[in-house]
Structure 1
Amino acid sequence: MAKIIGGIGTSHVPTIGLAYDRKRQDDPAWAPLFEGYKPVAAWLEEKQPDLLLFFYNDHANSFFFDCYPTFAIGVSPEFDMADEGAGKRPLPGILGHAALARHVTDCLVNEEFDMAVFQDRPLDHGCNSPLGLMWPHEPAWPGAILPIAINVLQYPLPTAKRCYKLGQAVRRAVESFPEDLKVVIVGTGGLSHQIHGERTGFNDVEWDEEFLRLFVEEPQALAAMTHADLVRRGGAESVEVIMWMAMRGALTEQIACIHQNHYLATTTNMAVAIYEQVEGSGPPPSPPKARSNEQLAGIEEIDGTYAFDVEHSVKALNLNRFFWRHREPAFRELVVRDLDAAFGELRLSEEERDLVRRQDWLGLVQYGVSFFVLEKFARVQKMSNLQVYAKMRGETLEDFLKTRRVPESA
């Protein structure tokens, strides 16, 4: 069974990664920061976790304000690092854990957290800035990541209490995953800083010290704070400490801080801390689940019905994208003119190409294609939805229409 073995709180200031890439670890201006991460790296080396579950935020690098989710979970088998305008950092991609991600997604949605689910979106400095200081990564990272993005950019933000409850739900989800995994929870952001308006450059180190104390001793007091409270005490952008609150919720009720460091150089009080759990200080572990999504119990008994779930979405992502791109006139033209070139552009497997060539509508759905992208392909093939329905039933259109109440409405 999966087990949470501790937590890490860390700032994610982009200049941390920049200083690391420029090998400024021994620079007097940066040494106090990098020294603070050495115990974290040593702790992770000792504990050997299989996975880091990251609560972070995306800084408009993979998400934009045309669709900016409150909570989003990454389910890809692998994640790349984002180009934030100056080229990608010299870091390798990192593995995801698709099975655990699916399980956590199912559990959270069943606990009424409305998670957006994302694939093929790179991770920005919200994840990768501190990650390189904590985990060795040449030639590859020693484990996997499960990223959960939290909106801290565009109000309304989730409350500190809601993030705390999200962490508690994540704990229940992780503990109910039947595979043996050692998981560390990471919460990123802060501490005090403001980087916009006339108050730019605001810091309050005394508040940061108080926050770190309350985080261990009285998390409920922090969970009760409003966003305005957090902004007043720590600066406008320090509200991102709600992501630390998600990490805190995923730990036991009592925790011990075994390492803590914070360093204020220019605009942000950059902090890192390690938290170990006091066993027995919370509810008993959640029992493992044979089925992650209880809402689908019994669906396999419904003949001719196929649930499009996260597992199928991950498996058939490129194939679904092939059909989805039929919204684009240029891609539609390419499909008609050179189908193999369109296949190559989407990196479809031979099995997937065969399903498309044969127009095996039922086989495509069974493989993991959503009908609502498949119908776009039908348009290019000059087929109506009714014709596709008939094909999936193994009938002619005429026979299918005979089963309808008003066949002449077709």
Structure 2
Amino acid sequence: MATAGKVVGAFTASHSPGITGWPERAEPAQRESVESAYQEVARRIAALEPDAVIAVSVEHFTNFHLGNLPAFAIATGESYLGPVTAEMSAFLNVEQHQYPGHAALGRHLYEFALDSDFDPALVEGGLDFDENFCVPFKHLDPGATYPLVPIIVNGVNPPWPTPRRCYDFGRMVRRAVEAQTFAERIVVVGTGGLSHWVGLPESGQVNIDFDHEFIRRFRDGEPERLTAYTQEEIDAAGNGAHEIRTWLVAAGAASVGFDVLAYEPVPAWLTGTAVAAARL
């Protein structure tokens, strides 16, 4: 008898291009902290032996644009190209290659979402990766061995899905995983954030107070406090801070608190940089 799927692990991490593109610009202790945390997550994922990874991030107008910017999108491809161009490959210091996809699981997630009163966009092919997935997976899966189901959350331009909607989307993902039998062991990885400003004069600043408060809530895992952020509260940590929605999706999928393995405010990487693991 086939075994129902299960979320066996959930992890979150920042995806600043500097993490892979110019790691040497960070203070040595900060770089060591972040890279060690990434290595620990890679070790834990390998030990979990996942059949697939549901990867949740934003994307930076690589595939979508202001004329077509869904709140959520689920991809169902057999493979994904990343980084999208040779120029981006050099910028991120990530070799351009194909990432394997888990098309059947992606299709199931999409159909389950519709049945659960969510209306994500469907991307059946042609989703290209930028730093959203290329930066974290250079550390987490350098050999590109885990089949991926990419989920995109709008965290780049208003109007955004609410924090509560993102958390509930993650809870739906967990139910979807448990409602199928062709991928038994699933890991969820959310990437983005924390505080940072993109393309604005404040670029390079980090809102440490916001980051610490978010980390406290993320550790506690209490949904009401974790999803209570207003747009103005997130705005205070930069337009890039709206990427915490990907962490909220992962939190909903885990439905437990997280251990934060590293947090470093790194102006040289333009980001409050963090790595965390769910206490599953």
TM over 0.5, yes or no?
yes
Matched residue SS, 1:167? helix
Alpha-carbon distance change, 214 to 175 in structure 1, aligned in 2, over 3 angstroms:
same
Which structure 1 residue ranges, 5 or more long, are not aligned?
A: 278-410
- Which range moved further: 207-216 or 99-108? 207-216
Alpha-carbon distance change, 153 to 216 in structure 1, aligned in 2, over 3 angstroms:
same
Counterpart for residue 56 of structure 1: 57
Alignment equivalent of 2:188, drawn from 164, 171, 185 = 185
d(CA) in 2 for partners of 1:256 and 1:62?
Answer: 31
Counterpart for residue 109 of structure 1: 114
Alpha-carbon distance change, 82 to 66 in structure 1, aligned in 2, over 3 angstroms:
farther
C-alpha deviation, 1:91, in angstroms: 4.2
C-alpha deviation, 1:275, in angstroms: 1.1
Say which structure, 1 or 2, has more relative contact order (CA 8 Å, 6+ apart).
2
Counterpart for residue 68 of structure 1: 69
Alpha-carbon distance change, 170 to 200 in structure 1, aligned in 2, over 3 angstroms:
same
Alignment equivalent of 1:159, drawn from 148, 159, 162 = 162
Q: Deviations over 1:69-113 (max 9, x none)?
A: 211111001111133571433143111111111111100011121
d(CA) in 2 for partners of 1:17 and 1:181?
Answer: 32
Counterpart for residue 128 of structure 1: 134
Alpha-carbon distance change, 212 to 169 in structure 1, aligned in 2, over 3 angstroms:
same
C-alpha deviation, 1:32, in angstroms: 3.3
d(CA) in 1 for partners of 2:192 and 2:184?
Answer: 26
Q: Deviations over 1:280-316 (max 9, x none)?
A: xxxxxxxxxxxxxxxxxxxxxxxxxxxxxxxxxxxxx
C-alpha deviation, 1:25, in angstroms: 11
Counterpart for residue 232 of structure 2: 228
Q: How does 1:71-220 map to 2 (within 5 A)?
A: 71-83=72-84, 86-88=87-89, 89-118=94-123, 119-137=125-143, 141-217=144-220, 218-220=222-224
AA in 2 matched with 1:120 = G
C-alpha deviation, 1:40, in angstroms: 1.0
Do the aligned residues in 2 keep the contact of 1:61 with 1:84 (CA within 8 Å)?
A: no
Question: Identity over aligned residues, as a percent?
Answer: 28
AA in 2 matched with 1:122 = D
Alpha-carbon distance change, 179 to 238 in structure 1, aligned in 2, over 3 angstroms:
same
2:207 is the counterpart of 1:242: no
1 or 2, which has the higher helix percentage? 1
Alpha-carbon distance change, 133 to 33 in structure 1, aligned in 2, over 3 angstroms:
same
Matched residue SS, 1:80? strand
Which structure 2 residue ranges, 5 or more long, are not aligned?
A: none
Alpha-carbon distance change, 209 to 27 in structure 1, aligned in 2, over 3 angstroms:
closer
Higher Cα radius of gyration: 1
C-alpha deviation, 1:231, in angstroms: 1.6
**How many residues matched?**
268
Do the aligned residues in 1 keep the contact of 2:100 with 2:145 (CA within 8 Å)?
A: no
Q: Which runs of 4+ in 1 moved over 4 A?
A: 24-27
Give the TM-score, by structure 1 length: 0.61
Alpha-carbon distance change, 144 to 206 in structure 1, aligned in 2, over 3 angstroms:
same
RMSD: 2.1
